[in-house]
Structure 1
Amino acid sequence: MRRSMLGRLAVAACSLSLLTAFAPAGGDGGGASGGPGSGTSYKKVGYFTQWGVYGRDFQVRDLEANGSAGKLTHINYAFGNVSADGRCFTGNVPGEADAWADYARPLDAADSVDGVADTVDQPLAGNFNQLRELKAKHPGLKVLISLGGWSWSTHFSDAALTPASRKAFVASCIDLYIKGDLPQDGTRGGAGAAAGVFDGIDLDWEWPGSAGDTDTTYRPEDKRNFTALVKEFRTQLDAYARSQKRRTKYELTAFVPTAPAKIDAGFDVRRIMRDLDFVNLQGYDFHVSGEPRTAQQSALYARGDFSVHGTVEAWKRRGAPAHKLVVGMPFYGQGWTGVSGGGDGMGQPAAGPAPATWAAGYEDYKALKKLAESGAYQVHRDRRGGHAWLFDGTTLWTYDDPWVLRAKADYVREHRLGGAMFWSLDADTADGELMTAVDRGLRGS
C-alpha cells in the first residue's frame, strides 16, 4: 500500500450520485469555545507507517525531533494484518507482515528515542521498542495498533462471520498486541515482549458490506457482523483490563468512510458508537488522481460533492455523537498531469496521475511545499470551500496546507467535535509544520 491509501476512495468517487446536498460554508453555532473541553482535550491522532522507516527513513525518533510527539494524544501504528484463518498475525512475509520493522530491527543510538543503541539480546527492538521509549518520554501519549487498511482488510469479513470466529479473532489480537506475546524471532519476541506498547486497537476494515480492494471479501451481513465484532472487542478488552487491575480502559476506535452508501452498507452507527471510544472520519481522497478530471480531495465544504462537513453531518444524522467524531486530515496531496482546459486547473480533464516521489499521483506535503515555494506553481485557495491546490498550467496537486488545516481545526472547535486525525506523520516537514498548525488551531492560539 502506500498500503492503505491509493485505492481508498476511487471506490467512493463512484458513489457521488448517492450524496445528498451539503450545507455551504458556515457554522451551526457552538462557538469557538466549543469542543469536548479545553484545547488540550481534543484527540490528535497520527498514523505512523510501518514501512516509512525504509524509503522515507522516517523513524519514531523523528516524532520527537520535529516536536510532534508532544502534540499528539494518539499514535495509530499502521498496520496489523488478519490471516486467512481469521487471526491477528505477524512474521516476515513479503507484502503481508514485517516483523523485522515491527520488533526485530536493531536501531543505533542516533535513531533511538532514548539515544541508546539496541543490543543483540533484548527481546524487543524495532518500531515497537521505539514507541515504548516515546511513551516513556510522553506519559500521556497512547499508541493503538491499527488493523487492516486498504490492502490488509482482505480477511476481515471471514474473521467476523460467526460468534466463534469473532471470539477467536479478538483473542488473537489481544494476545499479540495487548499482552504482547510476539512470535520468537531469534532473540526477539516471546511471551510479553511487547506488553505495554499498545493502549488499544483501531479497526480499519475497508469496507464492511461494500467493495474495497480487489481481493477483499465483503458480504451483506457484514454490517451486523461488524457491530458484533466491535462488541466482542469491547468485551474482551474490558475483561483483560479488569484482570490486570488497569486503571484506564483499553481504547477501541475505527476508521470510517465518507460515502453515505458505504456508511449504510456496513455501519450500524448508533450501536457501534456505544462501544467505540471514537471514530476517525475519512476526510480525504474525496477524489483521487486516477479519475479523468481534476477535483478537490479534502474540501471542508463542497455543495453536492464529498466534503468534511458532509461527512460529519452524515455520521451525526445516523446517531453518532459529535464528541466522538475525529476529523481525518491529509498530510499529502493527490495530483494530475496533462491538465487541459485552462483557468486554475480545477475541474478540468487530465491525462493521468502526476509523477511523484513514491507513487504516481500521490505526494507528501513536504515535497508539495517545495513546489509551492519554487515559483513554478501558483497556489490557489477556495476560502469558502476550505481547500487548496497547486497548478503550473499542466500539473495540479490538491492538498492541505497550514491555512487549510487551521480552518479545519477551527471547524472542529466550532462544531464541538472530538479532534483531528492525520494520514500520515511521515509526510510532514522536518519541523512538523502541519502538526503545529492543527495543534495551535485546536488550542485557539
Structure 2
Amino acid sequence: MGYCKFLTVILFLFPFLQFSYLTEAQNGDPSAQTEVFCYYGSWATYRPGIAQFEVEYINASLCTHIVYSFMGLRDGVIVSLDEYNDYEENWGKGALTRFANFAKTNGLKAILAIGGWNEGSVKYSQMAATEAARNTFADSVVTFVQKYNFDGLDMDWEYPTQRGGTPQDKENFSLLLETLSDKLHAEGLILTVAVCADSDIAKEAYDFKKVAQYADYISLMSFDYHTATSDNVTGLNSPLHAIPEENRNNTKLNVGYSVNQWLGGGVPASKLIVGIPLYGRTYILADPEDHGLGAPINGSGTAGPHTKEPGFLSYYEICMETKWNVERNDAEGYIYAYYDNNWVSYDDVTTVTSKAQFVKEKGLAGTMMWALESEDFRNQCGEGANPLLTAANQVLGRL
C-alpha cells in the first residue's frame, strides 16, 4: 500500500455456481456475505521480538480473504521480491506455499498482491502500454498464481497516471484489467484491485465503470489521507467524514467522500471494499503546546520501537505507550493522541466500529484491513488479541 493523499468472487467448483453468485452479488443480494480482506505484509517475518508476524499467526476466523504482499514486476512478468522468504528452494522459508495451504485448511481465499508503494509506477505504465506486454504479464500471473495454489491476484499499481506514469495509463489500466480478467476468470481465478482513495488522483487514474466491469472487488486504500510527508500540519489518517473545521481542500479527503465518488462513478456497492488502517500516522509537533488538528509540524514522527518506520506506528505500538493524551470526538467519529512533541492519528475499536457500520449501512462488499502485522495480535494492551479486526467482524455479523 502507499501514501494516498494524496480485493473477489467466492469461487465454487462449477462455473454455473460461480456465475450464479456473481449475479446475486451484483444485484445487491442482502444475503450475500460481507467480506473481510486481510493483507499480510510478508516482511514482518523479519521483525524482532513481539513484532515478528508469521503466516501461521493469522486468525482465520477474522478474515474471508487473506492477501499476500507483495510480488513485483521485472522484465514484464510477475516475480518474487524476496525469494528466500517466498520460496522453499535453497532452504527458503516457503511462505507462499505455507500461506496458500493455510488458506485452504481454514476455508479462506488466498490472494497474491503485486505492486505497492515501493514498486513505483513507471514499469507498470510501460508494461500496460502495449497489448503484447499486457498479455505476457497476464500469462505470467496465471502461471504463478496456479503454481503456488493461490485463488487470484490483487493488482496494486500505485498509481496509473501518477509517479512517472503517463496520461494514457488510465485507458491502459482498463485494458490491463480486461486482459487479466479474461485470463484469470477462464481458469476460475479471482481478480481484485487496490485503488487510491484520493479523489483527484482517482479521477485521473481510473475509469470507474471499466474497473468495476473487470475486477471482482475494488479495495479503496482509504487511509494516508494525511501524512507528515504530504502536509505541513497535523491531520487525520483515515477520517470517516469531512470535519466541519477543515479547509475546503481537505473536505474530499475522507472515507465517505471516496466511497461516494466510486459509487457515483457507476461502481456497484457489492464490489466496493473500504480500507481500514491497523496503524497510525505520526508527526513531530512544532510546538508541544499546539497539539490540535491542523497544528504546525516539524516532519514525521519518530520510528516505532518495533516497526522502525518514521511517521508510522502499529496499533500495538500506540496502545502500549502509556504517555498519550487521547482526544476523542465522538460526534465527528475520530481520535488522535499526543504527548510532548509527538502526535498520532489512528483508529481504535470505536472508530473501526463506526466504519464497519458505515459499510453495512451503504450495502458495501466489506472491509479491507491493512495490515495484520500492525494489529495488536498478541494482546499486548489487554483488549484481547486483534481487537480492531474483531470489532469490524462483530459489526459485519461474522462473529
Q: CA deviation at 1:393?
A: 4.5
Tell me the secondary structure at the aligned position of residue 141 of structure 2. helix
Partner of 1:204: 156
Give the structure-1-normalised TM-score: 0.76
The C-alpha deviation readout for 1:338-378, integer Å capped at 9, x for no partner, is 3427465221001221112211110100010112xx1x212
Give the distance between the partners of 2:331 and 2:195, measured in 1 at CA. 26
State the percentage of identical aligned residues: 28
Answer with 151-160 or 332-341: which moved more: 332-341
Partner of 2:270: 323
Give the distance between the partners of 1:148 and 1:382, measured in 2 at CA. 35
Conserved? CA contact 1:300–1:386, under 8 Å: yes
Tell me the secondary structure at the aligned position of residue 175 of structure 2. helix
Tell me the secondary structure at the aligned position of residue 70 of structure 1. helix
Q: CA deviation at 1:308?
A: 0.5
Answer with 346-355 or 411-420: which moved more: 346-355
The C-alpha deviation readout for 1:284-308, integer Å capped at 9, x for no partner, is 1000022321011101001524000
Q: CA deviation at 1:424?
A: 0.7
Partner of 2:11: none
Q: CA deviation at 1:105?
A: 7.8
Which one of the candidate residues 326, 342, 359 is aligned to 1:395?
A: 342
The one-letter amino acid paired with 2:128 is A
Which one of the candidate residues 135, 138, 141 is aligned to 1:167?
A: 135
Partner of 1:112: none
Flag the 1:238–1:444 CA change in 2: closer, same or farther, 3 A: closer
Give the structure-2-normalised TM-score: 0.85
1:132 partnered with 2:100: yes
Tell me the secondary structure at the aligned position of residue 367 of structure 2. strand
Partner of 1:70: 61
Partner of 2:311: 361
Conserved? CA contact 1:294–1:348, under 8 Å: yes
Give the distance between the partners of 2:290 and 2:78, measured in 1 at CA. 50
Give the distance between the partners of 2:76 and 2:271, measured in 1 at CA. 28
Partner of 1:218: 165
Which one of the candidate residues 176, 184, 187 is aligned to 1:229?
A: 176
1:114-125 aligned at under 5 Å gives the runs 125=93
Conserved? CA contact 2:199–2:253, under 8 Å: no
Give the distance between the partners of 1:353 and 1:284, measured in 2 at CA. 16
The one-letter amino acid paired with 2:397 is R
Larger RCO (CA within 8 A; separation ≥ 6): 1
Give the distance between the partners of 1:351 and 1:125, measured in 2 at CA. 41
Flag the 1:59–1:444 CA change in 2: closer, same or farther, 3 A: closer
Partner of 1:434: 388
Q: CA deviation at 1:36?
A: 5.4
1:98 partnered with 2:82: yes
Partner of 2:212: 273
The one-letter amino acid paired with 2:241 is Y
The one-letter amino acid paired with 2:209 is R
Partner of 1:151: 118
Conserved? CA contact 1:339–1:393, under 8 Å: no
Q: RMSD of the TM alignment (CA)?
A: 1.9
Give the distance between the partners of 2:291 and 2:62, measured in 1 at CA. 35
The one-letter amino acid paired with 2:211 is I
Give the distance between the partners of 1:143 and 1:384, measured in 2 at CA. 38
Q: CA deviation at 1:125?
A: 5.0
1:385 partnered with 2:375: no
Which ranges of 4 or more aligned residues in structure 1 deviate by more than 4 Å? none
Flag the 1:167–1:105 CA change in 2: closer, same or farther, 3 A: closer
Flag the 1:305–1:391 CA change in 2: closer, same or farther, 3 A: farther
Partner of 1:260: 199
Partner of 2:247: none
Partner of 2:234: 294
- Between Structure 1 and Structure 2, the one with more helix by share is 2
Conserved? CA contact 1:341–1:349, under 8 Å: no
The C-alpha deviation readout for 1:55-86, integer Å capped at 9, x for no partner, is 132001111xxxx2112011111111011x21
The C-alpha deviation readout for 1:289-334, integer Å capped at 9, x for no partner, is 2232101110100152400001001111111111111000000001
Flag the 1:367–1:271 CA change in 2: closer, same or farther, 3 A: same
Structure 2: segments with no counterpart, 5+ residues: 7-27, 244-250, 379-384
1:58 partnered with 2:50: no
Flag the 1:365–1:52 CA change in 2: closer, same or farther, 3 A: same
Give the distance between the partners of 1:299 and 1:75, measured in 2 at CA. 25
Conserved? CA contact 1:82–1:153, under 8 Å: no
Give the distance between the partners of 2:352 and 2:52, measured in 1 at CA. 25
The one-letter amino acid paired with 1:103 is Y
Flag the 1:301–1:173 CA change in 2: closer, same or farther, 3 A: same
Give the distance between the partners of 1:425 and 1:444, measured in 2 at CA. 18
Give the distance between the partners of 2:130 and 2:388, measured in 1 at CA. 43
Which one of the candidate residues 136, 142, 152 is aligned to 2:109?
A: 142
The one-letter amino acid paired with 2:71 is G
Structure 1: segments with no counterpart, 5+ residues: 14-34, 91-96, 107-119, 181-193, 212-216, 242-248
> Number of residues paired by the alignment?
356
